[in-house]
Amino acid sequence: MKLVFSAMALCGLAACGGSSVGGAGGGADMSPQVPSLSQFETSVRSFGATAERIDGLKGTVPRNIPSSGTSTFAGPALLSVDGFSNSYAMTGDSRLTINFANDDMRGGVTNFRGVDETGRGVNVAGQIAFTDGLVGSDDTSGLFAVDFNGNLTAGSDRIALDGIAIGNFEGNRTSGNIRTRAIQAVSGTSGSFIVDQGFPPSMTATMNGNTAIADFAFVGEN
């Protein structure tokens, strides 16, 4: 089962008047980045290329998903947050470490680059933290779930996120202890683009204390 939808569809939703991609939580990054629109679009295209490459892999078969060992999957992320009065689109760098022996998952998304609904670069501080997870088995083999949360700022707006990203393992190496090659995962609030594609709501988001609409996607390779 493929979970990464069209990256460019979400990016268009994020960067062109309307909903946006945005966010981070947990603590302030030491060096927030304020990108130009062209720099942001370059990071969006990078996400799209990585997502397309991973989506082209075959799903990891159950026998290739390990029951022990640790693997780190790194790659780009997208997050959009629409607070109705203001909205933001952001890209970031994700890193998820999975301990297959006990389902422990740690990591997060950092180094956000963001624009507002007009395409103007904004100062984004904060990070998303991955806090816990579960590797699927039996009927859910090949899937995983990871909890995340964050408190971030975009410009002068305060954004809070809390949810579960549902993902799947991709690729089948023929040797080594960790034979899965990549992951992809998504999460969305009620009314989000991801939920509109048929995925159940699995995130709540607020902007300045008020309910917001948000989409979150990340991919990674080991």
Q: What phi, psi does 47 have (nearest 5°)?
A: -60, -45
Contacts of 18 (CB under 8 A, 6+ apart): 82, 87, 117
Cβ 174 vs Cβ 63: under 8 Å: no
| Mean pLDDT lowest among 23-27, 49-53, 156-160, 203-207 | 23-27
Return the pLDDT at 220: 96
Q: Where do runs of H (alpha helix) occur along the chain?
A: 7-15, 37-55, 193-196
pLDDT confidence bin for 41, thresholds 50/70/90: confident
DSSP letters, 141-169, are TTEEEEEEEEEEEETTEEEEEEEEEEEEE
Which whole number is the average pLDDT over 130-140? 89
Which whole number is the average pLDDT over 38-50? 88
Return the pLDDT at 11: 52
Assess whether pLDDT exceeds 70 at residue 27: no
Residue 8 CA to residue 72 CA, distance in Å, equals 26
Assess whether pLDDT exceeds 90 at residue 20: no
* Separation of CA 22 from chain center: 10
Q: Which DSSP helix (H) or strand (E) runs through 177? A: none
Paired tokens of 8: 């460019």
* Residues 99, 181, 4, 80, CA torsion sign: positive
The 10s digit of each residue's pLDDT in 148-197 is 999 999 999 999 999 999 999 999 998 888 899 999 999 999 999 889 88
Mean residue pLDDT of the chain comes to 85
Which whole number is the average pLDDT over 202-212? 97
- Percent of the chain at pLDDT above 70? 85
Sequence length of the chain is 222
Q: Which DSSP helix (H) or strand (E) runs through 173? A: none
Unique residue bearing structure tokens 């389902």: 103
pLDDT confidence bin for 138, thresholds 50/70/90: confident
Please report how the helices 7-15 and 37-55 are oriented relative to each other, as an axis angle in degrees rounded to 10: 160
Return the pLDDT at 102: 93
Return the pLDDT at 33: 65
Q: Where do runs of H (alpha helix) occur along 103-182?
A: none
Cα angle 7, 204, 101; round to 5: 75
- Radius of gyration in angstroms for the set of CA atoms belonging to the chain, rounded to a whole number: 16
| Mean pLDDT lowest among 2-16, 63-77, 113-127, 175-189 | 2-16
Return the pLDDT at 165: 96
The dihedral formed by the CA atoms of 186, 165, 216 and 200, expressed in degrees to the nearest 10 = 70
